[in-house]
Structure 1
Amino acid sequence: MSIEAERQNWQDDLDLAIAMADQADQVTMGYFKSPDLHVVRKSDNTPVTQADKEAEAVIRRVLAQARPNDTIYAEELGKQESNGRRWIIDPIDGTKNYVRGVPVWATLIGLEADHQMVVGAVSAPMLGTRWYAARGQGAYMVRQGEAPKAIHVSRVDRMEDASMSLSSLTGWKAIGRRERLLDLTDRIWRLRGFGDFWQYMLLAQGAIDLAAEPELDLYDMGALVPIVTEAGGSFTDLAGNPGPWGGNGLASNGLLHKEALAALGD
């Protein structure tokens, strides 16, 4: 396949991801802050709602029609091994925010092809913003009512000037690296806890320079990787392996990645 043909192929898949995000947004917005929202606890003590399940079901129905031969790895309704093309879906990333009425949550839709993340779409309707990317085509942000805007990571190249975001400290203690993390945060300019998908999208926009989480699933990261990397950044696990496959994540503007890995990595 020529480079141009490959790009067109990913564009078709990106268009589909954006269309699926439109449908998922209708579900999630309909339940947000609803008195009828039903919340239960999963076996890992994290919450799940009918909005999570219905949004994922909508995406699955579209894929069954548009890409019947593709496999699916999603948070709520089942995880399949890849057959070469696999959609990675988190119907609501930030469910804890969602159930408490905090507007920072999003639907994440990514496409893996031959063990590479090639498409990512992140839709945060309460923030009025969507981010997306396809391999070789750059990364973009769309605010409600505005034209798409190309985004790029920052050019900060010193830790002393860097802004970093974390989701929490709990998991870092579990993997025995909380003290190393705290040592790093003592060196940087600014630490905030934007959390979940949002910190990675802020990184892709150039608003922050580092984001890291010690415990993640594939559906937490898959859609984020193409957006971060197409924006010029780096996304690895804590061992330095590229992509969302390692069960944890470190994203940076690229210029700070080696130093961050030395501080936090294996």
Structure 2
Amino acid sequence: MTDFCHFLELLGYEARSLALKYFRSSLEVVTKSDETPVTIADRKIEERLRQMIASRFPSHTVVGEEAGGTISSGISWIIDPIDGTKSFVCGVPLFGTLVAVLRDRRPLLGMIEMPALHERWIGRGGYTTHNGEPCSVSQCKRLADARLCATDHRMFSGGGLDAFELLSQAVRITRFGTDSYGYALLASGHVDLVVEAELKIHDVMALIPVIEGAGGIVTTWAGGPITDDFGGNILAASSAELHADAMRMLMER
């Protein structure tokens, strides 16, 4: 575990260096088949992290947003080189690099690296650090006191949008535009709930050890585990009470 943690730090520094090389520069933005943007920064970061992992752990599987791959039994690494590419290309510093280590398809360790903010969260084995120091979720237990984050209301559709709107009205504060930073803020106690939809496996696997290690809860909207076929909906909360109340509202749509 210690070896993996140290190596995640190295991956974080490498991703930070490459991301800042391209951030707020003139970049060609290409629209992929799923209508999401990609730049040379996404590709270069994933390429470099893949090289580093293959050199250090040649028997491990690597799966990335850009070059793909298939999760295997044993150890798999999941990479999202630029989570929040829309923020990245607009010069907004709330983009990150996500790396997860899976054992037998379940997340073992996770890293949220925020290059432009020089912040890094690493979660493993019931323990999460922020820039090397232990961090933990808030003690919020009531929806009326909760701070809620989501990336964009447009990720919700139909009854899911209606349910999110009801939840948003029930909490104290709602903020958008956070991408993976919202989950990092939850792990440090600054946010109490994150609710999102239409996510993919590379968007979420790194978040799970970070949130759980800080004392939080992360599941599907229905309360199930996040697996490689989880369906895209995610609910992260700082307490069991908040999680239960938010889940009830989301599932009553």
- Note if 1:254 corresponds to 2:215: no
**Equivalent residue letter for 1:235:** V
What SS does structure 2 have at the residue aligned with 1:196?
coil
| Residue 214 of structure 2: aligned partner | 231
Q: Percent identity?
A: 35
**Equivalent residue letter for 1:217:** K
State TM-score, norm by structure 1. Answer: 0.90
**Which residue of 40, 59, 69 corresponds with 1:79?**
69
| Residue 109 of structure 1: aligned partner | 99
* Residue-by-residue CA offset, 1:105-143 (whole Å, 9 max, x unaligned): 11111101122211111111211211111114x10101x
**Equivalent residue letter for 1:133:** G
Aligned partners of 2:137 and 2:187 also within 8 Å: yes
| Residue 11 of structure 1: aligned partner | 2
- In 1, the alpha carbon distance for the partners of 2:71 and 2:133 equals 34
**Equivalent residue letter for 2:35:** N
The Cα RMSD (Å) is: 1.3
Distance change >3 Å, CA 244–CA 211, structure 1 → 2? farther
- In 1, the alpha carbon distance for the partners of 2:192 and 2:176 equals 13
State TM-score, norm by structure 2. Answer: 0.94
- In 1, the alpha carbon distance for the partners of 2:139 and 2:106 equals 26
Distance change >3 Å, CA 74–CA 132, structure 1 → 2? same
Aligned partners of 2:73 and 2:105 also within 8 Å: no
- Note if 1:45 corresponds to 2:35: yes
- Note if 1:34 corresponds to 2:44: no
Structure 2 gap segments, 5+ residues each:
none
| Residue 170 of structure 1: aligned partner | 154
| Residue 24 of structure 1: aligned partner | 15
- In 2, the alpha carbon distance for the partners of 1:103 and 1:171 equals 21
Structure 1 gap segments, 5+ residues each:
1-9, 143-147
